[in-house]
Structure 1
Amino acid sequence: MSIALQSVLFLTLISASFSAQSSAHASEQREHRQQSRVAQGVANGELTRRETVRLWHGQRLVDAKQRRARADGVVTARERIWIHQEQNQQSRRIARQKHDDQRR
């Protein structure tokens, strides 16, 4: 195998590794932002105790799905889409609960 081909293969593997890591990092950042939104809702009274418990439970379910996807060491494109959809749904739940005019 030529050195040029080896270099190309090596760079391809490195870029794939970085894209997988950046995807995981983006998912973790999004999770952190959603947790902050819930905490903010609790602090300013937009969320009731029951709503908060439900939102935390929903986030734990998303976390469990992420752990399942990562368990084998590879997060496939289908798993990434699945996690992204779950995070979208959780984000919509947070927004609905924060703006439903229920107060603590």
Structure 2
Amino acid sequence: MKKLTVMLMGLGFATAAFPAVSVAAPFAPLNQRAQMIQSRIDQGIRSGNLNRREAFQLQGQLRGIQKLEYRYRLSGGRIDMRERADLERRYDALSAKVRFDKHDGHRRW
């Protein structure tokens, strides 16, 4: 019985420590977010929901955000909270624009 209690306590501590490990890599979510947006743009091109002009503009905006992220990382070695909030806001706006452009009815012919 005592071994089971100790084992469950150890499992509880390991579970409680898990979110701290996921926070330790702060740059992964931004990179993942850029990849997700790029895949949505690619899917819109393949399906015909995005025309060439829309796709070109969206990819240009994505490259601009990625360049800004790169500059933020060069300036201080890491991204601070203000810069991260700025990048998140820009990714949110671009994601909404991708969604709008994919469903606005301007299809490739």
TM-score by length of 2: 0.75
> CA–CA distance in 2 between the matches of 1:46 and 1:102?
7
CA 1:60–1:42: 2 relative to 1, 3 Å: same
After the TM superposition, which residues 1-104 of structure 1 pair with which residues of structure 2 at under 5 Å, given as runs? Answer: 19=23, 21=25, 23-71=26-74, 72-104=76-108
> CA–CA distance in 2 between the matches of 1:85 and 1:38?
19
Highest Rg: 1 or 2? 2
Unaligned runs of 5+ in 2: 1-19
- What SS class does the counterpart of residue 77 from structure 2 fall into? coil
1:61-93 CA-to-partner distances (Å, cap 9, x unmatched) read: 110110011112121100010000010011011
Letter in 1 for 2:90: E
> CA–CA distance in 2 between the matches of 1:97 and 1:70?
30
> CA–CA distance in 1 between the matches of 2:28 and 2:102?
26
> Corresponding residue for 1:10?
none
> CA–CA distance in 1 between the matches of 2:33 and 2:96?
13
1:2-38 CA-to-partner distances (Å, cap 9, x unmatched) read: xxxxxxxxxxxxx6x97352x2101111111100000
CA drift at 1:45: 0.2
> Corresponding residue for 2:7?
none
Letter in 2 for 1:96: F
- What SS class does the counterpart of residue 102 from structure 1 fall into? coil
